[in-house]
A and B are shown apart, each in its own frame.
Chain A
Amino acid sequence: MYNNVGAQPGVPRPPAISQPNPFGDTFYGAGSGLIRGGLGAYGEKILGSSSEYVQSNISRYFSDPQYYFQVNDQYVRNKLKVVLFPFLHRGHWTRITEPVGGRLSYKPPIYDINAPDLYIPFMAFGTYVVLAGFSLGLQGKFSPEALNWLFIKGLLGWFLQVSLLKLTLLSLGSGEAPLLDIVAYGGYCFTGLCVAILGRILFGYSYYFLMPWTCLCMGIFLVKTMKRVLFAEVRSYDSSRHHYLLLFIALAQFPLFTWLGITSVNWFI
């Protein structure tokens, strides 16, 4: 009955599914669509130069995001095991490369357990926000504004983690690792954090055991990963500086996790 009426475009209706819109196209298919369609268009407007220039710059900083979402259930399970119990990982930590179109590129996460992905960090971040909100509610201090505040705090923590890793890389003279790789490595910390907060919700005192444990595990994971990344990227091999920086990365996890684990609406209390 409503089919006839639905055909009238004079009626104020939301746009039909078949209409192309820039944001719809960018997320279809590979992530290069995002760069070409969305960012390329805006880059042209903003910079006024040719979109080729903007596109190449953005591609340098923002490698194809779709690569990081090629995951499946099995990868997610195994990667969680690697992140939460890195000392149990028997295999090597290097990423598998394959020649693609004349250049060497890394295999996508489905085929390589050591490849970083962005699905786990995003879901872990969301879980952190939800669990932190839950623990706030158990203390009786829940409000939607508090949840927004926790979201911002989590984002800030993620940003601090990423800048820590990036600065370490830069201080050794190489900043060539793709930004999204570093973002992914930084986001893995939220998995351990979620486990610790879940422990605190279920048994109050288990938090004091789980928190240092997950800090340690995250430290080991980051050290092992960054060692491989540094070996792959850095030209001059200065052993002692490498080791001090890796140790610093591992030790910096403790204050970061402690700060993120304080689920309250104030900065430090």
Chain B
Amino acid sequence: MAGSNLSVSRVYIDVIDDVIAKVRDEFINYGAGEAVLSELQSLWEMKMMHIGAITANIDRSSAASRHPPSAHLNPLHDLNVPYQGPTEEYETPTAEMLFPPTPLQTPIHTPLPGIDPPMYNIPTGPSDYAPSPLSDVRNGVVDIKASRPNPYMQPPSPWMPTRPLGVDVNVAYVEGREDANREPPHHPATQDFFTSSTGKRKRDEYPSRLPPGTYMPQQDGSSDVIIEFEMGNSSSQVDQQGNESSSIPQLDGIDDEYDNLFQYPSVPAEDYNNVVQTPAEHELRAPTPAAVGTPRQTNNVSGDDEEPPLNEDDDDDDDLDDLEQGEEEPTTQHLVLAQFDKVTRTKNRWKCTLKDGIMHLNNRDILFNKAMGEFDF
């Protein structure tokens, strides 16, 4: 065999094609459209290529033949061939936006100078995006499925390194966006939302509680406002945060000297004592305090006036082992994901049979159908 990399690539490409084909109907029913689907596919493939998980010169025609339901999936010509130019559809700038000749950078959104950004949505304006410029551009050609995936599969060769993804996609994305900043720079808040893990988001289910297009201002930390206490006059929470009628002078909260050290320009004065009605734009918070008995915020503001930090994030990694991630970079952790058929143990000898697994070892991916393991404890 020519090398397992090629076969792994092929399997991955098959999976991508299969997924895209099967969600196509959902996309159409949902009104998202073919364009969004194509964008999803190309972004996904681009990331895979960037990381080196798939190689570019995979012949996709056999993949197409393997999936008859998606017969309209046009077999692509060789990916290494440079982009032939728009046939009937997607405007060239769009393709160029996706694969700028100045590459080695993950974010495809980095626009070339001189390219009209509204053609490809620099994804900064969530509310504007959905109805328009992109969909307007592409709506006219949505029907044409011929060579749909093509424009996106034409990476110019200088862009094709197989170096590992050494850059944080999201960070670079931010940088690229700021260059072509057409929107008020409120996005860092949103950006933070999904890069800095709120809890254990990185591996958990897909939370995204944020309706698209919502501007999410910072409401914790220094921008903390409210919490309306509907119940009783003096809950213990209120007392901790300083009750005006208490005889103990408040030294924290608004009365501490912290504000004198740092001047936040646009922050409303913190005042935990006055109950302020916030417009409930932020769904995460608004209904909870009144409804639930313990109006504690999800963020770490409450209760850490006097108490030691909770150190909630100390065990963010799944393992509680001491001697681990300190030595190795977390990104190259060797990992095997599989299903087990049987796991047995005799004294200290463990045996297991696994199946259908993906292994990521020494920076490469290996797939297996069956595995036998023998371990000594």
Whether both chains belong to one complex is answered with: no
